[in-house]
Structure 1
Amino acid sequence: MKMLDFNQKIHSKVQCTSHVLVGDIGGTTTDFGILGKKNGKIILLVSIHYKSRDITNFTSVVADMLAYVKGEFGWTLRHACFAAACPISKNATVCNLTNLNLHIRKTDLCRKTSLRHVTLINDFQAIAYGVSVLRGKQLVNAKRGKSVEKAPRVVLGAGTGLGKGILLYDDKKKIYVPFSSEGGHTPLPIINKEEFQLLEFIRKRKKHNYVEWEDVLSGRGLVHMYLFAGTKKKFTKTKYSKEVHSSGYNSRLISLYKHKDKHCHAAFLMFLKFYGRCAKSFALDTMAVGGVYIAGGIAADNAEIFTHDIFRKEFTFSEKMGHVLEKIPVTVIADYNVSLYGAAVVAFSK
């Protein structure tokens, strides 16, 4: 069987004493990484990227990749951790991708590949673990505040879907321990007439009455708002809007042209407002006075936009809890590989 096409990137040539295989399996892309450890520091060495919809047998892809890595770099990998965009079974042995017809089974991976120890975790658990090892330019301050030591933290991020995770400090382990959430599938709250019109617009497009957070905070959510904005105002056509249209309304192009095209800009500001509201709701639900972290591909590509007043005002707007929200710092995770780092933290701990 022919090995699937993939893209590869060399991140570092540092000689490490041990290596692990990790993966971040999402609805659009599946990213694998080989990370090493040297002097206690986790280092991303190589990343390998597939289109998720090309993968029909996850175990076979992992087996092919392990053989490739051994031949290309001389590494025999025994420990792995895979982070998937879905709930993980109670015994953490099986996961079925939420936005993709793909199944991952721990027993198959250990039986049919060279791996001897495999851990399956939720993708936002991986991001939560990854936050602890990121530094400097990997993190962007979006809203200043004062983090309360050992207090709850939350992480959320829009990509193919909307993921959420909660971090609680463990006094015995002396680390933050992440807990997964499926809060992206809770109902979308609306507060004015225009937002109700957006709600009705999305209902008609998806042909379902249930509209959830993920329907606005995701790639398809950005498309929903771009199309909705076009029903509210007639925008002058530009070469950028023509490209968006000819692409079938590609969310990456809408994001890319947010400063060059007024239609794209309007959609992105609406997107940003809902992002602020979602972050606020999650922070108050959990009293995350330890801080809010924003992750996901859209955030990594647009870290600077989260300093916009629209996000900050929406995040702090509250009749009774504004004084609490004002003090909570918001940080954007600018390193797209945060899930790989987080999965490596787990893999190295086994």
Structure 2
Amino acid sequence: MKTRVHQERIEREEYDSFVLGGDVGGTNTNIGVAGAKAGKTTLLYSAHFESRRLSSLAPAIREALDYGMDRYGIEVGRGVVGVAGPVTNPRKAKPTNLPWAVDAEEIKGEFGFEEFRIENDFLIIGRGIDSLGEADLFCAKEGEPTFGDGRAVIGAGTGLGKAILSFDGEKYAPIPSEGGHADFPVLDEFDLGLADHLRGKRKTPASYEDLLSGRGIEGIYDFLRERRGRTDRTAEVIGAEDGAAIISKYRKIDPLCRETFAVYARCFGRCAKNFVLEAVATGGLYIAGGIAAKNREVFASPEFSKEFLNAEKQRQILERTPIQVITNYDVSLYGACNAAVDISD
């Protein structure tokens, strides 16, 4: 377990209660504990784990709670975790890219929580956006949003997640989506060859997630390498456990890595355009995930921008829509803790 302290010291009497928020992804599992006061949360500390080293979520929660008791002398009453994948039952869900499931009733009983709930990970991110400040966002495109306009969240990592945010008159309520698994729309022979390469021997179509994820970046690189040949960095990319990270590392100096991200930006721009039009998200498109945070300039690139605005009709919707890259990785913990406060109301 790795920990980060967000508040060095606290006065327990300053808070009404303490809540737990979690984010369970295919690569990382993060647990945060926040103090709640008058419906607002303050993140106190967070604990971070490699998901595939865990046999279930319970050991991570146990370590995180023990840390809070030892450091602050606090007990947690409620919790919410976001899970990467479809959540049709808030009591039990299996992350898409992990071998184990999260059982809310088991966790509630084991840790004595008053309430514990599971949500989709991008619903959780959506709940965390209003807790962000200007320093937590990179503006990739200016826009002209008006009060109450719909918003959308999209992000790539192990997979590709989406959520729509609808304003209910007081705050934004997230609506789930599994649009990351929608078919990738092919426009030309290059796209067709890329899609065929990514789906391999599958009979099902290539999806957005096949391109706009960590493995998608590696797949685009492999497709281009077969066409363009190797470069000085190819051996390092192929030999790396996380090839996407190496491609990102050299995207400004290696021609094959540079072209990989140019294709990635173009495909992401197309996906973002379609999502904004489907959701009428003129209040803003928020791009989340580690890939975006580490490569934020890609979303202000000509390749992304040209594709995002490439629409025969309703281009004005796209022009009005601001695009923000979320650079604060704790947004999911903010959102999960906010959700835990909501279920206590």
With normalisation by structure 2, the TM-score equals 0.93
Q: Deviations over 1:47-99 (max 9, x none)?
A: 11111111112224323432343124322111111111122234x11111111
SS in 1 for 2:313: coil
Match of 1:181 in 2: 177
Separation in structure 2 between the aligned mates of residue 348 and residue 128 of structure 1, nearest angstrom = 15
Q: Assess if the C-alpha contact under 8 Å between 1:63 and 1:114 holds in 2.
A: no
Residues 1:337 and 1:63: Cα distance change in structure 2 (over 3 Å): same
Q: Assess if the C-alpha contact under 8 Å between 1:235 and 1:262 holds in 2.
A: no
Question: Gaps (5+ residues) in structure 2?
Answer: none
Q: Deviations over 1:189-215 (max 9, x none)?
A: 1101101010111122x6443311100
Aligned residue pairs, count: 339
Match of 1:9 in 2: 4
Question: What is the one-letter code of the residue matched to 1:78?
Answer: G
- Identity rate, percent: 36
Match of 1:3 in 2: none
Match of 1:78 in 2: 77
Given candidates 328, 333, 344, the residue that maps to 1:340 is 333
Match of 1:228 in 2: 223
SS in 2 for 1:132: helix
Separation in structure 2 between the aligned mates of residue 249 and residue 161 of structure 1, nearest angstrom = 14
Q: Deviations over 1:268-306 (max 9, x none)?
A: 111111111111000111111221111111112122221
User: More deviation in 247-256 or 217-226?
Assistant: 247-256
SS in 2 for 1:160: coil
Question: Gaps (5+ residues) in structure 1?
Answer: 1-5
Separation in structure 2 between the aligned mates of residue 249 and residue 334 of structure 1, nearest angstrom = 21
Q: Assess if the C-alpha contact under 8 Å between 2:19 and 2:341 holds in 1.
A: yes
Match of 2:42 in 1: 43
Separation in structure 2 between the aligned mates of residue 219 and residue 81 of structure 1, nearest angstrom = 26
Match of 1:298 in 2: 291
Separation in structure 2 between the aligned mates of residue 326 and residue 300 of structure 1, nearest angstrom = 23
Match of 2:55 in 1: 56
Match of 2:124 in 1: 126
Separation in structure 2 between the aligned mates of residue 57 and residue 41 of structure 1, nearest angstrom = 30
In the TM superposition, what are the counterparts of 1:1-350 in structure 2 within 5 Å?
6-15=1-10, 17=15, 18-37=17-36, 42-90=41-89, 92-171=90-169, 174-204=170-200, 207-238=202-233, 241-248=234-241, 250-349=243-342, 350=344
Separation in structure 2 between the aligned mates of residue 42 and residue 64 of structure 1, nearest angstrom = 21
Separation in structure 2 between the aligned mates of residue 100 and residue 272 of structure 1, nearest angstrom = 28
Shift of 1:38: 5.8
User: More deviation in 33-42 or 180-189?
Assistant: 33-42
Separation in structure 2 between the aligned mates of residue 154 and residue 119 of structure 1, nearest angstrom = 23
Question: What is the one-letter code of the residue matched to 1:12?
Answer: Q
Residues 1:124 and 1:208: Cα distance change in structure 2 (over 3 Å): same
Residues 1:42 and 1:322: Cα distance change in structure 2 (over 3 Å): same
Q: Assess if the C-alpha contact under 8 Å between 2:141 and 2:300 holds in 1.
A: yes
SS in 2 for 1:236: coil
SS in 1 for 2:205: coil
Question: What is the one-letter code of the residue matched to 2:3?
Answer: Q
Q: Assess if the C-alpha contact under 8 Å between 2:251 and 2:261 holds in 1.
A: yes
Q: Assess if the C-alpha contact under 8 Å between 1:125 and 1:165 holds in 2.
A: yes
